[in-house]
Amino acid sequence: MLLLQKKDVDTDVDTDYESLVIAKRSLPLSASIIEGVGTDTDDGSFVTAKTSLPLSASIIEGRKVFTKLENNPGVMNKLAAKLGLSPALKFYDVYSLIESELLGHIPRPVYALLFIIPLTSSWEKIRLAKDMAREPYDKCGADEPIIWFKQIMCGDCGTIGLLHCLLNGPAQEYILPNTTLSQLYEECIPLNPEARAELLYDNEALEEAHQSCAELGDTKPSPLGKENSGLHFVAFVQGDDGWLWELEGNRVGPVRRGKLEEGEDILSEHVLKRCMGGLVEMDGGKDYRYSCIALAKDPSQFVSLPLHFLDRGRSLRDEGVPRRGIWDPTYRHPSWSPPPPDNGGKLPVE
C-alpha cells in the first residue's frame, strides 16, 4: 500500500540559496528582498541589506523571498480563507492514491488536487524532455481554458499552487466578492504570463496573507535560505474545456493531461493515474516525500451558487452562450492542442 506523507516545505526555482539569502531569526509579515551579506547587531540578530529590483532586470542581485509553506489542509484552508474563498470549500488530506478505502473521508466531487513532490531524477528527466519540446505558453484572455501563473519569486510555489486550485474549475464559483481572489481573477484574465507574474509580485495583500500563514503548519519553518531542497508544488484541476490540467509555475506552461468523462472528478481512479500516481512509484519507493491534499465541499456549510459572478470578459451564463463542453474541436493551441479526430478524441497519457 502506498501512503503519502506530509512534508513541511517546498522548493521552487533551482537556485543556490546559500549565496543569495541570509537566515533571519524572525519571520516578517511581508516577504523580504535579500541581497549581500548580513551584519551582526548588538542583540546578536542579523540585519540584511534590502533592495527592490524591477521584474525585467536581466541580472538580479536580490529578489523577493517568501517563507515556505507546508502542504497541510490547515495551512491552505487558512490561506484560502484570507484570500477570499468561501468556507463552503476546504482541503482534505489524501492518504493514498491507490487505496480507495483511505479516501472515504473526502466529499465528492473533488475540484482540485495539490501535490508536493520530490524532484527525483526520473521526474526531472521527464520534465526537461517535455519542456524542451514545447514553446513557452503565452495564452491569455477570456477563451483560455485555464488560468496559469508563471513563478518568478522564491518560496511562493505553495501560494501559486493554491491559486491554481482556486481560480480554475468549479472552485471559481466559491470566490467571495471584493476579495484578493476576485481581484486577481478579474485582473489576470487579459494578461500574458509575464504580466501575470508581475501582478502577483506587486500584490501586497497576497504577500501578507502568505507570510501570515507560513508558521501555521505542523513543523516550524526553516530560516530563510535554509529550506529543504528538491520539492515542488503541482496542482491538478479541471479546465473550462472539461479536461484535466497539470499546473506548475516552474514549467514552460500548463500541461493538458486528458479528458474527464461524464461523472468523473479528479479523484477518480484512472484520473489519479494521469496525475502523479505513476511518478510516485517510478523510483521504486526510494523517495517518499510525497504529499497531497484535495479541494472539495465542506458538508457542514451551505451556500447558494454563484456566490459572485466573476467577470472573465464574457458571460458564461448568458442566454445563447453555451459553456465549453468536454470535447470542443474549435480549441487549438500549438503545443497543447487536442489530437486529430481519427484518434477518437483521446489524448495519450503522459
Out of 164, 210, 232, 308, pick the active-site residue.
232
Integer Cα distance of 312 and 103 in angstroms: 34
Contact (CB, 8 A) for 97 and 4: yes
Contact (CB, 8 A) for 275 and 257: yes
Say whether 270 is catalytic: no
Say whether 210 is catalytic: no
Give Cα 149 distance to the centre of its chain: 8
Instruction: Name the nearest CA neighbour of 49 among 35, 29, 30, 32.
Output: 35
Place of cell 489519479: 272
Of how many residues is the chain composed? Answer: 350
Place of cell 472552485: 171
Instruction: Name the nearest CA neighbour of 238 among 309, 303, 147, 158.
Output: 147
Integer Cα distance of 350 and 338 in angstroms: 13
What backbone phi and psi angles, to 5 degrees, belong to 276? -100, 5
| CB-facing half-sphere around the CA of 46: CA atoms within 13 A | 17
CB atoms within 10 A of CB 304: 6
Give Cα 95 distance to the centre of its chain: 19
Q: Which residues are catalytic?
A: 154, 232
